[in-house]
Structure 1
Amino acid sequence: MKNFAELIKALDSSNKTSVKVDALTEYFHNAGDTDRVWTIAILSHRRPPRPVNTTLLRIWAAELANIPLWLFEESYHIVGDLAETIALVIPVSKNHSEKTLTEYVQEMIALKKKSDEEKREYLRTNWLALNYYERFVFTKLITGSFRIGVSQKLMTRALSKATGLDEDLLAYKLMGEWDPNRITFQNLVMEERAEDYLSKPYPFYLAYAIEGEPESLGNCADWAAEHKWDGIRSQTIIRKGGLYVWSRGEELVTDKYPEFNSFLGVIPDGTVIDGEILPWIDGNIGSFNDLQTRIGRKTVSAALLKKTPVIIKAYDLLEWQGEDIRQKPYTERRQLLEELYGAVKDYELPLQLSDQVDFGCWDDIIMEREKARELRSEGLMFKRKDSPYLVGRKKGDWWKWKLDPFSIDAVLTYAMRGSGRRAALFTDYTFALWETKEDGTKELVTFAKAYSGLTDAEFRMVDDFIKKNTLDRFGPVRSVTPKLVFEIGFEGISLSGRHKSGVATRFPRILRWRTDKTIEDANTLDDLKAMIPK
């Protein structure tokens, strides 16, 4: 644990990629094999399940620190991170543990089945036996919310430097389902076994956003274009009679979409399709809100399958007849995809081809982008015709040109403190719009939350206003005098029975502070509902 804690401290202490890669490389050189496996698992979000709920953690930490719970809660709201708060309030220790990361993780897994008193004693013993940073890392693991500023790509780069293996190969090896409790470092990283790859997807290729206009891409004849669909990016794999559906988040979701079992026996073995899972309701693409009814369900009922069927919009072919074809030019892969689709389309599969946009040059494509919302797309994708299918986010060959966001002027009504460097400021806001009641009176109705889009100086000014204009407190939440108006942007909108406003917005954020407007100038809930695509 000492070495792992020192690694996390090094990663947390710098914003420089080179420093983080060097720290990880040194760690992977020196750590034991089981600790290396668990480190890879933790940094790629394969954490052990949380053994203790956070309410008990707060109570027991306050007891050990000999402070009242209300003071711990106030400290937590200021610090903004539970593990950091616990590490700070518990008496200082200069000790460090000789146990390995693996030993601690195994103890945490076993702890889940123990009584509350056994959990309390385990935590007290270890909190007092660890120094500040070890205690912080230990508690992070206990909470199950271990987030650190390291991407999968950065970790893979360091592992490549430590092992001498190719980055793309490592990215491939680390994808898919593997259990850090059962796999060795040799099996996971070093060995080359064909059967391990049967269900594994390829690393996804991601696009950069265009800054400005598409003319910056150069000669339009070099580019293919299609719509950017708003669903779940996926790879559908058919190998040796098996079907495997992976999301971009490296989650195996085959059982969530039983419709796709119809691909077996029709689409040939040795096929991997890159595409988007979309709701397909009454012959039309539904909203992302419709798709959310399918996400996270442990079981998919017959009623849900009927209410919200799904399809795959296919836009690339990564493997064909068992051959990895990612290095072929995009136009060749696309031709093979079109031939595949043409051969199976009469089987009425939940599979559609993402049509390419026929355009002469950039003026034509601007007009096509304007149709995106009525087609339920987010905008357009541009792919260089001779481009291979690369790994991760690479500039040059794939670009996305999203629609400008929806926007509406709303009133700030509630606020919470932020986290990290903004933990001392109120930066997490709730916004409302006007609704006219039957008796003609108007009230503000909550519709969205947002916490990004202002400058540091603006956040400080809003924080000052909130502290001086608090109407009431509900735990960490403050009710604020309705006076400030902000322009709120969002990517999508749909009706929702789960929200008080009756509307769900997708990716809300602050576009600007409307200091030129009073709350009477803010928009209404009817204005918001009028934006919902028909």
Structure 2
Amino acid sequence: MRAFAALYQRLDRSTSLLEKRAALVDYFRVAPIGDAVWALWLLTGGKVGGAKARIASSAELREWVAQESGLADWLVEASYEQVGDLAETLALLLDDPAAVAVDMGLGQWIQQRLLPAANAPPEQRRAVIVDAWRQLPRRERFVFNKLLTGALRVGVSQGLVQQALAELTGLNVSLIAQRMLSFSSPTVGFMQALLAGGPQPGDSALPYPFFLASALEGEPDSLGAIDDWLLEWKWDGIRVQLIRRGSDMVLWSRGEERMDGRFPEIEADLARLGQDAVIDGELLAWRGDEEKPLPFTALQTRIQRRRPGPKVLAQTPVRVMAYDLLELDGRDLRELELQQRRRLLAELLSRHDSPLLQLSPQIHVQDWHTAAQLRDEARQCGVEGFMLKRRQSPYRHGRKRGDWWKWKVDPLTVDAVMIYAQSGHGRRSTLYTDYTFGLWDGDKLVPVAKAYSGLSDKEILELDRWIRAHTTERFGPVRAVEPLQVFELGFEAVNLSARHKSGVAVRFPRILRWRRDKAANEADMLENLRVVAQ
């Protein structure tokens, strides 16, 4: 635990990505493999035991630290509210041990102490945690508490960890990233396979790291001549890679999840492709010969079913609009120019000739002005705007700016009233930064969206003070506030939804501006949003 705590502190204190990467390299170079794989798991967003392992709730931790420290419950609560981070609060409220115990590695603490106690009776879990508090000095106790609260945020992205492992091993970072897509549990076997130099079992079922587009914020004519760019519709579905390698027929989502069994018609169609290939595209709900796809909410009914039955398959048919070819007959094509990859893809799909796997059409226009006019009609076509891809671009990994851009339609907007607020996470844990907004349904405000992005730091601080002074009720970490503040919200689409109390579901809501000029009774009506959704 001592080495991992030192790594955590080094990462937390640095704002330099180069320094953070150096710290990661130093740690992984000497860490025992059992510690290294758990460190990798935690640094890339994993939690001890996952969602099913109950080790300690926030309330239990506050209760146990009050008992162990001899402090009153109200003082623990006041300390927590002042500090804002539960792990840090727990570490500060206890004295350091008189004598430092023999150091145990990160893997030992998790596998020999925490996991065996998971889901045990409260007294058994309490004994394990309090024993650890009594053994560990403050710095290590703080990191131990982070394992319990699941809030290990130190400004380290998955990509940075992958770069560190690539530097350490000499492997290509794209291979590290590719293998990490199958990182489903922190085992020594996975870590050995991840860092191995030669081909590994399971490599054939792995996707390539996805190349992600950046949002185009200015005008497209800043990109130069339109002839240098390939324009495609920006589909509103699930980004997927279809993999056919030998007997493997696999669908991977951009969210690094295998979707085996959820779309059996696509898997069966992939088996008929005739050649091994890795195809990048968009999976959409689409009925027969209709001119545009169904809304994303229709596709959600398929995502939630691991083995859809005949009724679901008939009600929500799907297809893939393919827009890139990353591998063909075992040859990695990613360094070829996009226009070459697309030509090979078009030839492959022409031979395949299937309605379930189609080439995403290229949009031909003469100039950016004409493209802008066509983009304004995107919603009527069931799409979100344009993708702009440099014709000569290779297929990179991650979000590399310059070659691929998403030029989306202007967002739909409503003026909504803030009705609830919740504190943020990590460095924002002491501020109320997550907000719920409602629209008027008669004389009642009905929740329609949650949003946390779009305000400046100055506005967040001002709004945080206002929320604390105008709270009407508390529900755990959530505060109900006086319905007075109006905000303009932007979102990509709105669909009717029986799963939501409001009857509608908005896509990607965010705050556009604080409408200080509007009174709450001037906010929009829910009925207007329902009309847009029809």
Alignment of 1:489-504 (within 5 A): 489-504=490-505
**In the alignment, is residue 314 of structure 1 matched against residue 322 of structure 2?**
yes
**In the alignment, is residue 152 of structure 1 matched against residue 158 of structure 2?**
yes
Q: Deviations over 1:82-113 (max 9, x none)?
A: 43333333444474661111212322333336
What is the DSSP-based 3-state SS (H/G/I as helix, E as strand, rest coil) of the residue aligned with 1:26?
helix
Partner of 1:427: 433
Partner of 1:439: none
CA contact (8 A) 2:285 2:316 kept: yes
What's the CA shift for 1:509? 1.7
Q: Provide the aligned C-alpha RMSD in A.
A: 2.5
What's the CA shift for 1:68? 4.9
Partner of 1:87: 91
Partner of 2:210: 204
In structure 2, do the counterparts of structure 1 residues 25 and 177 end up closer, same or farther at CA, with 3 Å as the change threshold?
Answer: closer
**In the alignment, is residue 181 of structure 1 matched against residue 182 of structure 2?**
no
AA aligned opposite 2:109: Y
**In the alignment, is residue 260 of structure 1 matched against residue 261 of structure 2?**
no
TM-score, normalization by structure 1: 0.91
Residue 98 (structure 1) aligned to one of 103, 128, 135 = 103
What's the CA shift for 1:160? 2.1
In structure 2, do the counterparts of structure 1 residues 505 and 84 end up closer, same or farther at CA, with 3 Å as the change threshold?
Answer: farther
What is the DSSP-based 3-state SS (H/G/I as helix, E as strand, rest coil) of the residue aligned with 2:195?
helix
In structure 2, do the counterparts of structure 1 residues 74 and 369 end up closer, same or farther at CA, with 3 Å as the change threshold?
Answer: farther
Separation of aligned partners in 1, 2:465 and 2:249? 56
In structure 2, do the counterparts of structure 1 residues 518 and 391 end up closer, same or farther at CA, with 3 Å as the change threshold?
Answer: same
AA aligned opposite 1:25: V
What is the DSSP-based 3-state SS (H/G/I as helix, E as strand, rest coil) of the residue aligned with 1:499?
coil
Separation of aligned partners in 2, 1:296 and 1:11? 37
AA aligned opposite 1:191: G
Partner of 1:470: 471
In structure 2, do the counterparts of structure 1 residues 488 and 273 end up closer, same or farther at CA, with 3 Å as the change threshold?
Answer: same
Residue 238 (structure 1) aligned to one of 238, 244, 249 = 244
Separation of aligned partners in 2, 1:301 and 1:69? 52
CA contact (8 A) 2:244 2:270 kept: yes
Q: Deviations over 1:92-142 (max 9, x none)?
A: 447466111121232233333644332221111112212233223223323
What is the DSSP-based 3-state SS (H/G/I as helix, E as strand, rest coil) of the residue aligned with 1:183?
helix
Alignment of 1:272-291 (within 5 A): 272-281=278-287, 283=290, 284-291=292-299
Separation of aligned partners in 1, 2:305 and 2:93? 39
Alignment of 1:392-471 (within 5 A): 392-436=398-442, 442-471=443-472
AA aligned opposite 2:303: I
In structure 2, do the counterparts of structure 1 residues 463 and 153 end up closer, same or farther at CA, with 3 Å as the change threshold?
Answer: closer
Residue 70 (structure 2) aligned to one of 58, 66, 79 = 66
Q: Deviations over 1:144-181 (max 9, x none)?
A: 45444211211111122222333223223333256432
Separation of aligned partners in 2, 1:178 and 1:448? 31
CA contact (8 A) 1:435 1:444 kept: yes
For structure 1, list consecutive stretches of 5 or more residues without a partner in the other structure: 437-441
AA aligned opposite 1:317: L
Q: What percentage of residue pairs aligned between the two structures are identical?
A: 44
Separation of aligned partners in 1, 2:69 and 2:302? 44
Alignment of 1:124-143 (within 5 A): 124-143=130-149
What is the DSSP-based 3-state SS (H/G/I as helix, E as strand, rest coil) of the residue aligned with 2:208?
coil
Separation of aligned partners in 1, 2:446 and 2:24? 48
CA contact (8 A) 1:157 1:167 kept: yes
Q: Deviations over 1:346-391 (max 9, x none)?
A: 4x4x323211111112112112211221222222111111111112
What is the DSSP-based 3-state SS (H/G/I as helix, E as strand, rest coil) of the residue aligned with 2:532?
coil
Partner of 1:7: 7
Separation of aligned partners in 2, 1:255 and 1:61? 46
CA contact (8 A) 1:177 1:252 kept: no
Separation of aligned partners in 2, 1:483 and 1:468? 13
Separation of aligned partners in 2, 1:97 and 1:302? 60
Separation of aligned partners in 1, 2:431 and 2:187? 41
What's the CA shift for 1:216? 0.8
Moved more, 510-519 or 466-475: 466-475
In structure 2, do the counterparts of structure 1 residues 118 and 330 end up closer, same or farther at CA, with 3 Å as the change threshold?
Answer: same
Partner of 1:328: 336
Separation of aligned partners in 1, 2:69 and 2:297? 44
CA contact (8 A) 1:49 1:144 kept: no
In structure 2, do the counterparts of structure 1 residues 64 and 268 end up closer, same or farther at CA, with 3 Å as the change threshold?
Answer: farther
In structure 2, do the counterparts of structure 1 residues 497 and 148 end up closer, same or farther at CA, with 3 Å as the change threshold?
Answer: farther
AA aligned opposite 1:358: H
What is the DSSP-based 3-state SS (H/G/I as helix, E as strand, rest coil) of the residue aligned with 2:449?
strand
In structure 2, do the counterparts of structure 1 residues 390 and 476 end up closer, same or farther at CA, with 3 Å as the change threshold?
Answer: closer
What's the CA shift for 1:280? 2.5
Residue 199 (structure 2) aligned to one of 187, 193, 203 = 193
**In the alignment, is residue 340 of structure 1 matched against residue 348 of structure 2?**
yes
Separation of aligned partners in 1, 2:315 and 2:84? 41
Separation of aligned partners in 2, 1:475 and 1:180? 32
What's the CA shift for 1:524? 0.8
What is the DSSP-based 3-state SS (H/G/I as helix, E as strand, rest coil) of the residue aligned with 1:424?
coil
What is the DSSP-based 3-state SS (H/G/I as helix, E as strand, rest coil) of the residue aligned with 2:358?
strand
Separation of aligned partners in 1, 2:282 and 2:475? 41
Q: Deviations over 1:462-484 (max 9, x none)?
A: 23333333333333333222222
**In the alignment, is residue 224 of structure 1 matched against residue 230 of structure 2?**
yes
TM-score, normalization by structure 2: 0.91
Q: Deviations over 1:316-354 (max 9, x none)?
A: 1111112111111111111111112212224x4x32321
AA aligned opposite 1:252: R
Displaced runs of 4 or more, over 6 A:
none
In structure 2, do the counterparts of structure 1 residues 172 and 421 end up closer, same or farther at CA, with 3 Å as the change threshold?
Answer: closer
Separation of aligned partners in 2, 1:240 and 1:364? 45
What is the DSSP-based 3-state SS (H/G/I as helix, E as strand, rest coil) of the residue aligned with 1:205?
coil
CA contact (8 A) 1:294 1:308 kept: yes
In structure 2, do the counterparts of structure 1 residues 355 and 75 end up closer, same or farther at CA, with 3 Å as the change threshold?
Answer: farther
In structure 2, do the counterparts of structure 1 residues 446 and 271 end up closer, same or farther at CA, with 3 Å as the change threshold?
Answer: same
For structure 2, list consecutive stretches of 5 or more residues without a partner in the other structure: none
Separation of aligned partners in 2, 1:79 and 1:299? 46
CA contact (8 A) 1:412 1:429 kept: yes
**In the alignment, is residue 49 of structure 1 matched against residue 49 of structure 2?**
yes
Separation of aligned partners in 1, 2:484 and 2:415? 12
